[in-house]
Amino acid sequence: MSLEVFRKVAIDWDRVYAISRIEEDAIKTTQGSTKVYADMPGVGVNVESAVLTDQIERGQLWRRAAESGFALSGTYAIDLSKVCMIHVGESDDETFITFDLNHAKGRFNIERDAALGLLQLSRIK
């Protein structure tokens, strides 16, 4: 286990498979946050393991994901080494990723444009 501490949370990068950002909107009805998805017993795919709201912590986490080789597409950082399939449907509701994980099973929903970006990044590697 390789825990890395970010102010208020410690993360084992070997278990993280996805990160998503939600930006604060202009009229502040939505607070900015970053969701971390990790392969943990009893936690399904599409269920966040941690939610970070501290702006500094969120920035540090996103930079660390990029440095760790996660593919960045839109508001998502995805560990492509854990991806089994990227399915791009006709809409966001029909678009998802499946991962090869030890504990979590199921589909991870993702925006269609972000999935298309991941497909492009996958071809480059």
Note the pTM of the prediction, 2 decimals: 0.85
User: Is the dihedral angle over the CA atoms 49, 55, 57, 61 positive or is it negative?
Assistant: positive
Give CA–CA dist 78/19, Å, rounded.
Answer: 7
Parse the chain into domains and list their residue ranges: 3-124
36 pLDDT band (50/70/90 cuts)?
A: very high
Give me the pLDDT at residue 104, please.
74
Provide, rounded to the nearest whole percent, the portion of the chain with pLDDT above 90: 30
Report residue 50 as tokens. Answer: 């941690």
Residue 26's Cβ-side half-sphere holds a number of Cα atoms within 13 Å equal to 0
Q: Give yes or no for residue 61 having a pLDDT over 60.
A: yes
Average of per-residue pLDDT values in the chain: 86
Q: Give yes or no for residue 19 having a pLDDT over 90.
A: yes
Q: Does domain 3-124 have CATH number 2.40.50?
A: yes
Give CA–CA dist 18/46, Å, rounded.
Answer: 9
Mean pLDDT of 109-113: 91
Q: Give yes or no for residue 70 having a pLDDT over 80.
A: yes
